[in-house]
Structure 1
Amino acid sequence: MLNRRAFLAGSASLAATGLAAAQPSPAPTTIELASLRGSINAAEYGLAPGTLDDQSHAFSRMLERAAASEAPVFLPPGTYLVSNIKLPPKVRLAGVPGATRILYGGDGYLLMAENAQHIELTGLVLDGANRWIADYAQGLGDFRRVAHLVVDNCQVIGSGSNGLALETVSGRIERSIISGAAEAGLYSVEAGRLQITGNSVLDCANGGILVHRWQAADDFTMVTGNRVERIAARRGGTGPYGNGINVFRADKVIVSANSVADCAFSAIRANSSGDININNNICVRSGETAIYAEFAFQGAVISANTVDGAANGIHVVNYNEGGRLAVVSGNIVRNLLTSGPYPSDPPGFGVGISVEADTTVVGNVVEAAPLYGIMLGWGLYMRNVTATSNVVREVGTGFAVSVVEGSGSAVITDNVVEGAKAGAIVGYRWSDPVTADLARSGGADYRHLTVERNHVS
C-alpha cells in the first residue's frame, strides 16, 4: 500500500506526463447523488427493467411510497412498460440519461400530475412509441397546476399528442430533447414564470415551443438557448401551426438566443403578446414570416436577430387590431423568397421588414428582399414610424411607404440604399406605387413624410 508521500509523488509524476489530466475524476452526477442519498431503488418494488409485462401497478405503488417519505426514486437502466401513471403531489424520479426508458403501453396516457407541489424528472427517456393518447390527456407528460416542475436532461420522444403539456405550471424545462411529437413539442398555457432553457425540440408535426394563455396577461416565461428544428404544419392553416416558437396572449415573455431552423411557418411568432422581447435569435429557412409580432400587442423589442431565408423577414403589424409600439433594431435579414405556404394576400411575400405604428426601425441590414426592403405602413394603417441608419441592398423597392390620405407620419433619414430595382424610396397606395423615387425628389408633396440625407447607389 502506498503511503501518503508516495501517493503524492506518484500524482505529481502523472501530472508531469499529462496522464492525470487525461484521466480526471468526474464530479458526482445528479443521478449518482440521488442513488447515494437515501433514494428508493425500483428493484425493491418488483420493477424489472426489460420485461415485456406491464409494470404500471408496481410503478405507481413505488411512487406513492416514495412520496409519503419524500424520498427520491432511482430507476436503474432499462425499459419500464407502463400506462396511466398518476403522479403523487411530490415526486423526485431520476434515471440514467439515455438508458432509463419509461415506455408508454398505449392505454390512456403515460404520466399525469394534477395539483402537485413538486415534480422533478431527471435523466429519463419518456417514450410514447407513437401510440394513441386519450383525448383527455394533453401530452405524453401532462402536468396541470404544478407549483414547481423540473424536467432536466430527459428525452421525450414519439408522443401521439404534445410531447410535454403544461397547464398553470411554474418551474423549468431544461437540457432535454423533445422529438417526434404528433402535435407540439412543448405546450405551456397559463404559466407562472416558467424557464424553458437549453432544450432541443425537433421533428414535431404542428409546433415547437408554445407559450399560450387563455386571456392576455403577464406570463414572464423565458425561452432561451433552445434549438428548434424541422417543425411542420400538418393541420394546415395560415399561421396557428408550424411555428418554431409561438407566443400567444402571453405578456412579458423573453425569447432570446435560440436557434430555429426549417419551420413551415414562423421561426418566432408572437400573437397578441405585449412587452415581448425577441433578441439574439438565429432564424433559418422559415416557410413564411421568420419573426412576427402581430395583432393586439403593445410593446415589442426585436433586436440583434439573424434571419436567413424566409418568405418575409420581420413583421410588426396589425395596427388595425391594436398592434403598436415597437423597436426593430440591429437585425440582419436576407435571402427572402416570393413564395410561401399559401397564396399571399397583397402586397405579397418577399418583404424584409414591415412595421405600422409607433415604431422605430434603426440600424438593420436587409439584403436580397425581392419585393420591399423595408415597408412602412399599409394603407391607412401607419402612425409615427421612423427608419434611420439602415442598410438596404439588392431589393425590389428599398423603402415602401404609405401615402394614402389619412395615414400618419413617417421619417426616413440617413439610410443607405444600394441596388433597389424599383426605386430607393417609393410612396404606395396600398399595393400600388404612385410616386417617383422620393430619395431623389424628396417628400415635399406629402406633409406626413420626412425624407432626408439618404444615400442611394
Structure 2
Amino acid sequence: MKIARREFMLAGLGAGLTAAADPHSAAARDTSAPEAFSTFGIVPADGAINQTATLQRAADAAAAAGTPLYLPAGTYATERLVLKTGTHIHGVPGLTILRHAGGRAILETEGTDNVRLSGLVLDGDGKPLGDNGALIIATETTHLDIADCRVTGSSEEGIALRKAAGRVAECEIDTIAKGALVSEDANGLEISHNHVHDCGDNGILVWRSKTGEDGTIVSANRIERIGAKSGGSGQNGNGINVFRAGSVLITQNRIADCAFSAIRSNAGSNCQMVANSCTRLGEVALYAEFGFQGAVVANNIVDTAAMGISVTNFNEGGRLAVVQGNVIRNLFLRKQGEVRGVGIGVEADTVVTGNVIEGAPAYGIFAGWAKYLRDVSVTDNVIRKSHVGIAVSVDPSAGPALITDNLIDGAKDGAIRAMKGRTPVGPDLAHESAEAYRNLAVYANVAR
C-alpha cells in the first residue's frame, strides 16, 4: 500500500511532537557517557564494596586531564572524596548514587576553582558525619556549580558552603537532620530552583561570620516541611534564614509548613523579600529583626501564620523599611493571650502601604511598641475582619506616625486605636479626632 505524501508528513509531525512533549525520554533511556566524557574505568558495585580509592583516582585523573568524569547508573559506596580544581563529575540523574560509607562528607573541596557536579545522588544513609559534617562541603571555592543533584539522608547538614562563589540550582535536598543548605561568608552565590523539604532545623541559611555585604540571590526555590528539632526561639524552624548578611535578594520562592518563619532576616541590612508565597507558618511569616538598616518586603502572599510581617527591634537599631503590596490572611493566636495574630508590625522609619490584610484575631497593623516608634506612615491599606484594625503607640516618648486613606471593615474593637503597651486607650480614631495625641496625624480613613 502506498502512503500519500500528506500522510507521511503528518506522521513525521506526530513523531516530532512526541519528542518535543518529552524531551528527556531519549536521554532517560541512554545512560552511556557523553562523547566528551570518560568513565576512567569506573563501574558501580551496587554498594557492596567500598569504592573510595577507585573513585578518588578517577576524579584526580579526570581533573588532571581536563576531562569530565562520568559515573554510570548504579550505587557507589564511598568515604570522603576530595575534589581538586577543575573536577567535573556527572551522573545519570536519580540513578547514579554515591552512598556514604564514613567520614564527615561524601564530596569535599577547598581552595579550588571550577568544580562542577551534576546528575548525582548523594545519600548520607543517616550515618554519622561528625561535628560540622555535611554531604557536600565546599570552602573558599570559586565558580562552583552544583546542579540537578539530590542530597538526602544527612545526619547533619546537607550542603555546607564557606566563602563560596557560584550556584546551587535545580537540586533536591531532603531528609536532612539540621540545615539543608548552609552558606557562610559567600562571595557571589546563587541558590535557585531547588526543592528543599523535610529538614530538622532549617531550609536555606545565608550567614556571615561578621556583619557585612553578602549579595546572595535566593530565588524560585520550593521549601516545605521545616522543623525546629534543635529548639530555640527562632534560630531554627525557618524556610530561609539570613544572619548578618547584607543585600540578600529573596524572591519568588514557595515556602510552606515551617515551624517558625518562611523568611527570617536577623541583622541583614538591605534585605529584599519580594514575591514569595508563604503558607502555614508557626510564627512570623516574614521577619526583619535586630540590627538591620534597610528592608523591602513587597508583593508577598502569606496565608496562615501567627503573624504576617514583622519589622522590629528599633531598640537594637532595626530601622528603615518599605512594606508594600502584600496579601496577608488567616492569622492565628499561638496561645490564648499571646501577642500574635497580627497582620503587620513595624517600629521605625517605615512605610506600610497598599497591603491587604484579612482575618487578624488581634491587630491588622500595629505601629510601634511603647516608646519604640519613629516616622511610620500607614497609608492605602485594606484591613478586613480584625479585632483592632490599626493600633499605634502613643507613649510619651513615641515618635510621629501618619495614618491616612486606609479602609477598615469589620474591626470588632475599633478601626484605629491609640495604644499604651497592649492596652487600647481613648476613642476609635477613625471616627474621633486624634488631636489629643501629639505624635499622631490620622485622617481620611474609611471604617465600617
TM-score w.r.t. length of structure 2: 0.95
Which residue of 365, 379, 385 corresponds with 1:394? 385
Aligned twin of 1:21: 17
Quote the Cα distance in structure 2 between the aligned partners of 1:437 and 1:230.
Answer: 41
| Stretch deviating more after TM superposition (436-445 or 361-370) | 436-445
The answer as to whether partners of 2:78 and 2:101 remain within 8 angstroms in 1 is yes
Quote the Cα distance in structure 2 between the aligned partners of 1:390 and 1:317.
Answer: 20
Q: Deviations over 1:173-196 (max 9, x none)?
A: 001100011100000000112110
Quote the Cα distance in structure 2 between the aligned partners of 1:31 and 1:253.
Answer: 40
The answer as to whether partners of 2:169 and 2:193 remain within 8 angstroms in 1 is yes
> What CA RMSD, in Å, does the superposition of the two structures yield over aligned residues?
2.1
The answer as to whether partners of 2:247 and 2:271 remain within 8 angstroms in 1 is yes
Give, in angstroms, the shift of residue 446 of structure 1.
1.1
Aligned twin of 1:382: 373
Query: Counterpart of 1:261 in 2: which secondary structure?
Result: strand
Quote the Cα distance in structure 2 between the aligned partners of 1:109 and 1:209.
Answer: 19
Aligned twin of 1:3: none
The answer as to whether partners of 2:151 and 2:158 remain within 8 angstroms in 1 is yes
The answer as to whether partners of 1:31 and 1:96 remain within 8 angstroms in 2 is no
Query: Counterpart of 1:368 in 2: which secondary structure?
Result: strand
Answering whether residue 330 of structure 2 is matched by residue 335 of structure 1, we say yes
The answer as to whether partners of 1:109 and 1:134 remain within 8 angstroms in 2 is no
The answer as to whether partners of 1:34 and 1:94 remain within 8 angstroms in 2 is no
Quote the Cα distance in structure 2 between the aligned partners of 1:113 and 1:34.
Answer: 27
Answering whether residue 162 of structure 2 is matched by residue 164 of structure 1, we say no
Give, in angstroms, the shift of residue 172 of structure 1.
0.5
Give, in angstroms, the shift of residue 32 of structure 1.
7.7
Q: Deviations over 1:128-180 (max 9, x none)?
A: 00110022x43111111101111111100001111000000010000110001
Which residue of 202, 224, 245 corresponds with 2:240? 245
Which residue of 41, 61, 64 corresponds with 2:57? 61
Give, in angstroms, the shift of residue 20 of structure 1.
3.5
Give, in angstroms, the shift of residue 258 of structure 1.
0.3
The answer as to whether partners of 1:152 and 1:176 remain within 8 angstroms in 2 is yes
Aligned twin of 2:360: 369
Answering whether residue 175 of structure 2 is matched by residue 180 of structure 1, we say yes
Answering whether residue 183 of structure 2 is matched by residue 153 of structure 1, we say no
Q: Structure 1 residues 51 and 428, CA, compared in 2 at 3 Å: closer, same or farther? A: closer
Q: Structure 1 residues 446 and 159, CA, compared in 2 at 3 Å: closer, same or farther? A: same
Quote the Cα distance in structure 2 between the aligned partners of 1:31 and 1:212.
Answer: 41
Amino acid at match of 2:37: S
Query: Counterpart of 1:420 in 2: which secondary structure?
Result: coil
Answering whether residue 38 of structure 2 is matched by residue 40 of structure 1, we say yes
Which residue of 253, 266, 282 corresponds with 1:271? 266
Query: Counterpart of 1:53 in 2: which secondary structure?
Result: coil
Amino acid at match of 1:429: K
Answering whether residue 434 of structure 2 is matched by residue 443 of structure 1, we say yes
Aligned twin of 1:80: 76
Aligned twin of 1:192: 187
Answering whether residue 286 of structure 2 is matched by residue 286 of structure 1, we say no
Aligned twin of 1:142: 137
Quote the Cα distance in structure 1 between the aligned partners of 2:272 and 2:409.
Answer: 30
Give, in angstroms, the shift of residue 10 of structure 1.
7.7
Q: How many residues align?
A: 444
Amino acid at match of 2:343: G
Quote the Cα distance in structure 1 between the aligned partners of 2:32 and 2:325.
Answer: 46
| Stretch deviating more after TM superposition (427-436 or 54-63) | 427-436
TM-score w.r.t. length of structure 1: 0.93
Which residue of 324, 328, 348 corresponds with 1:357? 348
Quote the Cα distance in structure 1 between the aligned partners of 2:405 and 2:324.
Answer: 15
Answering whether residue 418 of structure 2 is matched by residue 414 of structure 1, we say no
Query: Counterpart of 1:285 in 2: which secondary structure?
Result: strand
Give, in angstroms, the shift of residue 38 of structure 1.
3.0
Amino acid at match of 1:399: I
Give, in angstroms, the shift of residue 406 of structure 1.
1.5
Give, in angstroms, the shift of residue 40 of structure 1.
1.9
The answer as to whether partners of 1:31 and 1:123 remain within 8 angstroms in 2 is no
Query: Counterpart of 1:401 in 2: which secondary structure?
Result: strand
Give, in angstroms, the shift of residue 11 of structure 1.
5.5
The answer as to whether partners of 1:145 and 1:168 remain within 8 angstroms in 2 is yes
Quote the Cα distance in structure 1 between the aligned partners of 2:95 and 2:7.
Answer: 36
Q: Structure 1 residues 422 and 90, CA, compared in 2 at 3 Å: closer, same or farther? A: same
Query: Counterpart of 1:440 in 2: which secondary structure?
Result: coil
Q: Structure 1 residues 375 and 34, CA, compared in 2 at 3 Å: closer, same or farther? A: farther
Which residue of 89, 95, 108 corresponds with 2:91? 95
Aligned twin of 1:120: 116
Amino acid at match of 1:447: R
Q: Deviations over 1:201-235 (max 9, x none)?
A: 00000000000001111111000000000000001
Give, in angstroms, the shift of residue 22 of structure 1.
2.2
Give, in angstroms, the shift of residue 33 of structure 1.
11
Aligned twin of 1:215: 210
Q: Structure 1 residues 220 and 369, CA, compared in 2 at 3 Å: closer, same or farther? A: same
Q: Structure 1 residues 288 and 61, CA, compared in 2 at 3 Å: closer, same or farther? A: same
Give, in angstroms, the shift of residue 199 of structure 1.
0.3
| Stretch deviating more after TM superposition (182-191 or 23-32) | 23-32
Aligned twin of 2:293: 298
Quote the Cα distance in structure 2 between the aligned partners of 1:398 and 1:106.
Answer: 57
The answer as to whether partners of 1:34 and 1:72 remain within 8 angstroms in 2 is no
What stretches of structure 2 of length at least 5 have no aligned partner?
none
Q: Percent identity?
A: 41
Quote the Cα distance in structure 2 between the aligned partners of 1:400 and 1:51.
Answer: 62
Q: Deviations over 1:279-302 (max 9, x none)?
A: 100110100000000011111110
Quote the Cα distance in structure 2 between the aligned partners of 1:225 and 1:32.
Answer: 30
Amino acid at match of 1:292: Y
Which residue of 304, 308, 320 corresponds with 1:309? 304
Amino acid at match of 2:257: D
Amino acid at match of 1:124: L
